[in-house]
Amino acid sequence: MSYSVSVIIPAYKEEEFIEDTIKKLQNKLEENKFVYEIIIVLDKAPDDKTEEIVKKLIKENNKIRLITRANKLGVGSAVKDGIKNSKNETILITTAEISEDPDDLIKLLNKINEGYDLVSGNRFFQGSKIEGYSKKQFIANRLCNFAIRILFGIKLNDVTNGVKVYKSTIIKNIELSAKSFDIFAEIPIKILKNKGITFYELPVKHKVRNQKFSKFNFSKEASLFFKILLKCL
């Protein structure tokens, strides 16, 4: 059995990447015969052409959908809007600059078709490859993930990796409060606290976005992650 998939892509000032990302995903999904929709949740910005580019692609492929928000509401809010508006049996959350290899995303989708509730990419497993990750980021990531595993008894090794596939019936039934990148910890924590949830991790190739384009503020996000862990507790 092959599940249909809704791909959710939060976007803000992504004119450099969005077309290439969508086309690569579209090609891989069609090549592997997935029933799919690609949902771009865009926070508009002055002098940014992301909306114009996506609208052009929609004319070529009606499986692409665009949700436009007038203000910068954040990654967490974008993910929640994408989940709410998704129509298919599984949900894949990924990035506008496609940090993960598209072939790895297909592997995640194929794995959830085996019957798992959650399939996660792992950037640190043997067989993974990570580019552009600083020593500071690596240490902070490993400490955060260690703390999550201890506090919540979760066995995922890379809880905070945003690239995961979920069964829609499960992710749509949890209440989410995070507004930024902390949502990528909140979702798996709240799902895996439930008994009987099945999950699997696969090694993935991951390329960290160039600082010129990065939306991730280390100091700000660290405090948000801490707060969301307290809320989940």
Q: Mapping DSSP to helix (H, G, I), strand (E, B) and coil, where does residue 100 land?
A: strand
The pTM of this model reads 0.87
Measured CA to CA, the distance from residue 133 to residue 208 in angstroms comes to 6
Measured CA to CA, the distance from residue 188 to residue 118 in angstroms comes to 8
Q: Over the chain, what is the mean pLDDT? A: 87
Is residue 210 very low, low, confident or very high in pLDDT (cuts 50, 70, 90)? low
Measured CA to CA, the distance from residue 34 to residue 198 in angstroms comes to 22
Model pLDDT, residue 34 = 96
Q: Contact, 127 vs 86, CB < 8 A?
A: no
Question: Which of these ranges, 30-34, 91-95, 114-118, 214-218, has the smallest mean pLDDT?
Answer: 214-218
Please check the confidence at residue 45 and state whether its pLDDT lies above 50: yes
DSSP-assigned letters across all residues of 47-62:
T--HHHHHHHHHHH-T
Measured CA to CA, the distance from residue 113 to residue 49 in angstroms comes to 36
Model pLDDT, residue 15 = 93
Model pLDDT, residue 211 = 44
Mean pLDDT of the region 70-92: 95
pLDDT tens digit string along 94-103?
988 777 889 9
At position 15, the amino acid (one-letter code) is E
pLDDT tens digit string along 127-181?
777 777 778 778 888 888 888 888 888 888 888 888 999 999 999 999 998 888 8
In Å, what is the CA distance from 202 to each residue of 16, 108, 120, 128, 198?
Answer: 28, 7, 6, 9, 14
